[in-house]
Amino acid sequence: MSASPSTTARPAAKGAGAPTAGGGRGSAKRRTPISRRGERLVGYTFMTPWIIGSLVFTVGPMLWSLYLSFTDYHLILGGDFIGLDNYRAMFDDPMFGRAVKVTLLYVLLAVPLKLIASLAVAMLLTQSRRGIGFYRAAFYMPSLIAMSVGIAIVWKALFAAGGPQDQFMSWFGWEGGGFIGNPSVSILMLVLLSVWTFGAPMVIFMAGLLQVPAELHEAAEVDGAGKWHRFVHITIPMLSPVIFFNVLMETVHAFQLFGPAFIIGGTAGGPAWSTLFYTVRIYALAFVDLRMGYASAWAWMLVLAVGVVTLIMFRAAKNLVYYAGEDNK
Amino acid sequence: MMRNPHGLRRRSILTGASAAAVLAAAAACGEDGPAGTADDPIEINFEWWGDETRAELTQQAVDLFQEKNAGIKVQTNFADFPTYWEGMTGRMASRDLPDVFQMDYSRLRQFGTSGLLLPLEGVVKTDDFRAGFLDTATLDGQLLAVPVAGNTLGLIYRADWFEGNGIAAPAPGYSWDQYAADISTLTPALGEGKWGGGDWAGVYHFMELWLRQQGGSFYTEDGKALNFEAAQLAEWWTSTAELYAAGMVPPVETTIEWVEGGLVQDKLGSEIGWDNFMPGYAPTVEANGGALALAAPPSLDPANLGLYLKPSMQFVISGATEQAEASAKLIDFLLGDAEAIKILGTSRGVPATNAGLAGVEIDPATQAVLDYEESVAQYLTTPPPAPPAATGAIEVKFGEIYQQVQYGEMTAPEAAELFFTEAETLLAAEQ
């Protein structure tokens, strides 16, 4: 039994993963206080470029945009403080509802599909086979290039009228043409692009899958549980912290999708505003309409919304996520 | 827990600050002084919008300029029209504009009112421009741009297709209804995948033309408000509805994917457009076995075509330039040097200077543009004042909202209502 491929793969992975992480944390705690100060100084010194970078390029602009969100700042003409007017105006803005709708639709479609795809592939890739390293790299590859401009352009070409998607689907009786010109399906281009780039959650799922104790599976198998039962009653619960992490990360990312949407749909979110993502609208408000103050208010509304969604997820996770270490509480 | 966090933080900030100081000093050493000799040349940037052909010609002219002015090095860059303006808008905000760049009349106010452009009176040569051209280069009495070339709207059409199907050549006074009827004749005759004309209702400039034909204008005189009613816009946006529904003009699903115009793709029989585009299309159309001709655009009133001579593009100098003299030299060279005029030809339209007009080699297509402009000279009226700064955004919005009508997501009156809300917000944002 112990010579079977599944059990030999597991301890090796465990030896490489878990103990190192634990050891690192442990040794830091054991350091003497005397060397700590100097070490910290060195640490901060090495971090200086990043600290300065994040202050200058992230924290500073964020605070500035928070201030701008309370002004009617025009990109060229400047502006004055107007209190909460921008936030009020948003609710009368016909484009606000549209942008929210498109973005939510995308989140609801892209996140589950991407996670299902990445989990499925992760399960295939945790089997031990010859050349598995190659397959893992190959499946991860799209994620490395997906957010590039080049891929977005190629992606768009795939969905042109008479392009590969149009031809393929017309074999099955599709008459809607290319997705680019069809507002009722155009968002699927971006959903599919997102699904195709499942590399990051896949790697995390793989790490999680390799941590699921084989004993549980073996015991269940002896009791006569089939593959599906073992998946639902062992893999999923044991994997739930990882699933939660991936859901959280992917949701937050999905809300912020910009690059591919901008390239495929343009600032107008074409065709007919069907790809008018929230972030694309922010860009258009700021750099086409030049209403930087109002655009900033939109941006902060997104921050708030993502914050609320995250909070809800953490609440929900309390009941849904199983942490193995908390058994004895 | 942390014993002296502040001390640490201060020190690390000091380290950072000194590092920054060193970097800044290093950067300062690399800066060019205003010398301008062959060994240590002045560098200026020059950017424009346009296609590859224009870029090649412009680069040749710029190379010649550098040859003749050894102390000046010109960095060039170009992009297509929408990309160019998206980039410029961002750079305008960060006050990072090129020394010399190509300007569009509809954006002149946006850039000009905030001190971003150098007043050009006495800086560049202004004595050789053709009559009327400099009027559209001034903003509130100040010369901020120089015209490169002029253009006006016209109907560019396939003479061979029109004639071959028994359609009379359009002449001044040609009505919108007649144009629609001709398209309806042509489209079925041309067969699958070709159309007699395009849907013109989505273009801001054509709406302006239509308003001018009724004695109106797009904006009020002070440029602070729209000068028409939502009902008029709804009427304009319905004017092609029948053609569109009948498939006489190409559907939006098709045109949204077009990366070049319908005329050069051999798919459109006519298009309202800027007359100076015609010489650009002509060689491709001829290669396809067709022939282009130019006529006055359709009108409501044969006595008022609504036309005016517009600068097709202008050159401006950034107000923040440190090399005003060299920048002006480049502009004077491109517009006035005999060799440069020959190289550039009519890639930017019919030259705006007398020297340019005299020196440029004129091919038959360009001659057709000159003939056309002469034929409508009696109809040309005073140009509207430089449009408000929000024009660029309003122009984008105009097409974007009309797309909703084409897709059937909105009715024309709903879309017109939305356009008014959006345009009024944009106009209010700059007051």
The DSSP code sequence of B191-202 is -TT-BSS---TT
Report if residue A248 sits inside a domain. Answer: yes
Using CA coordinates, name the residue in chain A closest to B407.
Answer: A272
pLDDT attached to residue B23? 47
B253–A72 CB contact, under 8 Å:
no
Instruction: Report the distance separating Cα B269 and Cα B375, nearest Å.
Output: 22
- Better-predicted residue by pLDDT, B430 or A21: B430
Q: Residue B117: CB partners within 8 Å, gap ≥ 6?
A: B103, B111, B144, B145, B316, B317, B318, B319
Interfacial residues of B (vs A; Cβ cutoff 8 Å)? 3-4, 8-9, 11-12, 15-16, 19-20, 86, 89-90, 92-93, 110, 113-114, 116, 252-254, 256-257, 389-390, 392-393, 396, 399-400, 403-404, 406-407, 409, 418, 421-422, 426, 429-430
B104 exposure class (CB count in 10 Å sphere: 0-12, 13-18, 19+): buried
B12 vs A contacts (CB less than 8 Å): 41, 44-45, 47-48, 51
Length of chain B: 431
The interface predicted TM-score of the complex, written ipTM, equals: 0.77
Could you tell me how many helices (H) and strands (E) chain B has, helices first?
17, 11
Report if residue A121 sits inside a domain. Answer: yes
Report if residue A54 sits inside a domain. Answer: no
Report if residue A13 sits inside a domain. Answer: no
Report if residue A64 sits inside a domain. Answer: no
Calculate the CA dihedral of residues A148, A149, A154, A160 and round it to 10 degrees. Answer: 130
A95 vs B contacts (CB less than 8 Å): 422
List of domains in chain B: 42-151+311-379 (3.40.190.10), 153-308+384-429 (3.40.190.10)
pLDDT attached to residue B276? 85
A76 vs B contacts (CB less than 8 Å): 92-93, 110, 113-114, 116, 389
Report if residue A292 sits inside a domain. Answer: yes
pLDDT attached to residue B83? 85
Residue B395 CA: distances (Å) to CA of B97, B193, B264, B308, B363: 22, 29, 24, 19, 33
Residue A149: CATH number of its domain: 1.10.3720.10
A75 vs B contacts (CB less than 8 Å): 89, 92-93
pLDDT attached to residue A22? 40
* Interface check A241 vs B, CB under 8 A: no
On the question of pLDDT at B15 being above 80, the answer is: no
| Structural domain total, chain A | 1
- Better-predicted residue by pLDDT, B377 or A107: A107
Q: 10 Å Cβ neighbour count for B296?
A: 23
Residue range(s) defining the domain that contains residue A187:
69-324
Encode chain A (329 residues) as per-residue pLDDT tens digits.
334 444 444 444 443 434 444 444 444 455 556 677 888 899 999 999 999 999 999 999 999 999 999 999 988 788 899 999 999 999 999 899 999 999 999 999 999 999 999 999 999 998 888 888 898 888 898 888 877 888 888 888 899 888 889 889 989 888 888 888 889 899 999 999 999 989 899 999 999 999 888 888 899 989 888 889 999 999 999 999 999 999 999 999 999 999 999 999 888 887 889 999 999 999 999 988 889 999 999 999 999 999 999 999 999 998 888 886 655 44
Report if residue A216 sits inside a domain. Answer: yes
Calculate the CA dihedral of residues B283, B284, B285, B286 and round it to 10 degrees. Answer: 50
pLDDT attached to residue A1? 37
**pLDDT confidence bin for B311, thresholds 50/70/90:** confident
pLDDT attached to residue B412? 96
Instruction: Tell me the per-residue pLDDT of B153-175, one tens digit each, with 9 for 90 and over.
Output: 999 999 999 999 999 999 888 99
Report if residue A228 sits inside a domain. Answer: yes
Could you tell me how many helices (H) and strands (E) chain A has, helices first?
17, 0
Mean pLDDT taken over chain B: 87
On the question of pLDDT at B56 being above 70, the answer is: yes
